[in-house]
């Protein structure tokens, strides 16, 4: 059994979906659990539907949803060469469900509605891919992953109930392989015990695939991407990047933690726990070697690994009346960050101050600052970049920091992290 994951970019056009079919056909007789994401940028478009709905701009939300429906139906018609197929009824049902949601008054949290609306991207993409594959002679079963992935109700970042899910994998998923070698499931989504749909966090399909690989004891997981493999930096941000042929789970988990966008950070643990290798392969050219991520990879020859997180904010907290920031105060501060669901990317503290760097999410920051402001003076500085380099070399660091002002710096033997100022961004006292 192998687990394959295809992301939005590999499903963004008719040609690409047909091409995915070719890749799958290159593994005849293999049992494949295929996890697919929403097509192209559908998730971003559905996020706009959710936002407009929640701001009570119902007509805009409905129009945006209609556009998504039209694009998908049109694509499905072209793939199948007809508009008469049970797929169209299935698609209709998914859209009608969201239309009902849009008809409601938003009385629950935004995150709840977000999940009810945005999850549709994966449902419709997998329904289309599954119908097209069967039409093209690639026999498969479509799986509603919400019958299998049980989670808590932490909407937009739901946590998987491992025991329930493992049991459902055994009783629902494994039997599906009795009558076909291929099962197609949605990434990114799941369901609570109240049958409410949840999502697992943006880009969560990698994680879904990792959980499946673990629970099915797969021999490997492959993430098919539009890049040649796992690179030492984002080629959109840096010139001269190189593909890394092999790398360990722990290196990748570090990089994902620091913000590398290649693989969802939660993906590694379920694979590492069962020693299942993860391949990152290029779907545009399946014969390229790509990268293998595994426990015993040879990391001696690793180049410097660079992660750049843009749009960062430095929050600086000072106690009022010059009271020391002691352990109890730090724990209070952490509690506030936790309650506001804000992740700290880098932190430092002094006698009467505490500084940290976080992603710029204006809604969360507003809440956070309000909460911190009760006991502390708060300053913030936005428009920053957080640069992380593992296996750094001084010359490279000099190059990467030219014309940058460094606001925070942390170095360990292997890793350096620098919070840098891009342009003149004034700190403002609240
Ligand atoms: N479609 C979701 C997203 O774009 C999940 C994924 O692609 O993994 O975030
Ligand atoms: Mg995606």
Tell me the CATH number at 164. 3.40.1160.10
Residues whose CB falls within 8 Å of the CB of residue 31, separated by 6 or more in sequence, listed in order: 1, 2, 177, 181, 182
Which tokens sit at 66?
């209609």
Which tokens sit at 292?
């293998």
Q: Which pLDDT score, from 0 to 100, does residue 9 have?
A: 95
Q: Which pLDDT score, from 0 to 100, does residue 257 have?
A: 86
Q: Which pLDDT score, from 0 to 100, does residue 426 have?
A: 52
- The closest-lying atom of ligand 1 relative to the alpha carbon of residue 121 is 1
Say whether both 212 and 334 belong to one domain: no
pLDDT, one tens digit per residue, over 352-386 is 999 999 999 998 999 999 999 999 999 999 999 99
Q: Which pLDDT score, from 0 to 100, does residue 429 have?
A: 47
Which tokens sit at 259?
């913000």
Cα of 7 to ligand 2 centre, how many Å?
Answer: 6
> How many C-beta atoms lie closer than 10 Å to residue 287's C-beta?
8
Residue 109: φ, ψ to 5°: -70, 160
Q: Which pLDDT score, from 0 to 100, does residue 256 have?
A: 87
CA distance 142 to 184: 5
Residues whose CB falls within 8 Å of the CB of residue 342, separated by 6 or more in sequence, listed in order: 358, 361, 364, 365, 368
Beta strand residue intervals within 234-366, DSSP E: 246-247, 278-282, 291-293, 305-319, 346-349, 353-359
Say whether both 312 and 218 belong to one domain: no
Cα of 429 to ligand 1 centre, how many Å?
Answer: 37
Say whether both 207 and 312 belong to one domain: no
The answer to the question of residue 293 being in a domain is: no
Establish whether residue 40 lines the binding site of ligand 1, counting it when its CB lies within 6 angstroms of any ligand atom: no
CA distance 389 to 32: 36
| Number of domains forming the structure of the chain | 2
String of DSSP letters for 113-143: HHHHHHTHHHHHHHHHHHHHHHHTT--EEEE
Say whether both 209 and 319 belong to one domain: no
Last residue of a domain, one of 210, 226, 242: 226
Phi-psi region of 152 (alpha: psi -120 to 50; beta: other; left: phi over 0): beta
Say whether both 62 and 204 belong to one domain: yes
Whole-number Cα distances in Å, 399 to 263, 276, 279, 353: 27, 37, 31, 31
Say whether both 41 and 188 belong to one domain: yes
The answer to the question of residue 237 being in a domain is: no
The answer to the question of residue 209 being in a domain is: yes
CATH of the domain at 359: 3.30.2130.10
The answer to the question of residue 256 being in a domain is: no
Q: Is residue 212 helix, strand or coil?
A: helix
Identify the segments of the chain with pLDDT beneath 50: 425, 428-430
Q: Is residue 336 helix, strand or coil?
A: helix
Q: Are 123 and 160 in contact (CB under 8 A)?
A: no
Last residue of a domain, one of 211, 226, 241: 226
Cα of 110 to ligand 2 centre, how many Å?
Answer: 20
Q: Which pLDDT score, from 0 to 100, does residue 430 have?
A: 47
Query: For a substitution probing ligand 1, which of 120, 149, 205 has the most ligand atoms within 8 Å of its CB?
Result: 205
Q: Which pLDDT score, from 0 to 100, does residue 171 have?
A: 98
Q: Domain range spanning residue 16?
A: 2-226
The answer to the question of residue 282 being in a domain is: no
Say whether both 55 and 187 belong to one domain: yes
The answer to the question of residue 243 being in a domain is: no
Say whether both 92 and 185 belong to one domain: yes
Last residue of a domain, one of 202, 226, 250: 226
Residue 377: φ, ψ to 5°: -85, 135
The answer to the question of residue 299 being in a domain is: no
Q: Which pLDDT score, from 0 to 100, does residue 322 have?
A: 85
Whole-number Cα distances in Å, 335 to 21, 165, 320: 48, 30, 19
Question: How many Å from the N-terminal Cα to the C-terminal Cα in the chain?
Answer: 56
The answer to the question of residue 202 being in a domain is: yes
């Amino acid at each position: 059994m192998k687990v394959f994951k295809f992301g939005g970019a590999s499903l963004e056009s008719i040609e690409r979906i047909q091409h995915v079919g070719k890749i799958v056909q290159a593994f005849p007789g293999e049992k494949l659990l295929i996890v697919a994401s929403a097509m192209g940028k559908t998730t971003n478009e559905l996020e706009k539907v959710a936002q407009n709905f929640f701001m009570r701009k119902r007509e805009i939300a409905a129009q945006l949803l209609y556009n998504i429906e039209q694009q998908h139906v049109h694509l499905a018609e072209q793939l199948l060469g007809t508009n008469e197929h049970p797929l169209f009824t299935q698609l209709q049902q998914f859209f009608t469900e969201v239309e009902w949601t849009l008809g409601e008054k938003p009385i629950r949290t935004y995150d709840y509605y977000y999940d009810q609306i945005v999850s549709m991207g994966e449902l419709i993409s997998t329904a289309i891919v599954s119908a097209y594959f069967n039409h093209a002679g690639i026999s498969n079963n479509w799986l509603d992953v919400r019958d299998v992935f049980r989670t808590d109700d932490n909407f937009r970042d739901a946590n998987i109930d491992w025991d329930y899910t493992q049991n459902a994998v055994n009783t629902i998923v494994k039997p599906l392989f009795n009558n076909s070698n291929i099962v197609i499931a949605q990434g990114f989504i799941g369901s609570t015990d109240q049958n409410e749909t949840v999502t697992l966090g943006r880009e969560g399909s990698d994680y879904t695939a990792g959980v499946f690989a673990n629970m099915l004891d797969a021999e490997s997981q492959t993430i098919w991407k539009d890049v040649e493999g796992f690179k030492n930096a984002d080629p959109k941000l840096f010139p001269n990047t190189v593909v890394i042929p092999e790398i360990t789970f722990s290196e990748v988990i570090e990089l994902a933690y620091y913000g590398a966008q290649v693989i969802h950070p939660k993906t590694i643990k379920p694979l590492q726990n069962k020693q299942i290798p993860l391949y990152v392969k290029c779907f545009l050219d399946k014969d390229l070697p790509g990268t293998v991520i595994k426990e015993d990879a040879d990391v001696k020859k690793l180049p410097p690994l660079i992660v750049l997180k843009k749009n960062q904010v430095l929050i600086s907290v000072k106690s009022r009346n010059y009271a020391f920031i002691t352990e109890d105060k730090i724990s209070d501060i952490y509690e506030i960050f936790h309650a506001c669901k804000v992740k700290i990317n880098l932190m430092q503290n002094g006698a009467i101050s505490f500084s940290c760097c976080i992603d710029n999410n204006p809604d969360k920051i507003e809440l956070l600052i309000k909460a911190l402001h009760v006991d502390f003076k708060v300053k913030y500085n936005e428009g920053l970049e957080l640069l992380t380099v593992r296996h750094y070399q001084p010359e490279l660091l000099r190059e990467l920091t030219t014309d940058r002002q460094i606001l925070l710096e942390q170095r360990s033997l292997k890793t350096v992290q620098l919070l840098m100022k891009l342009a003149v961004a004034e700190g403002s006292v609240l």
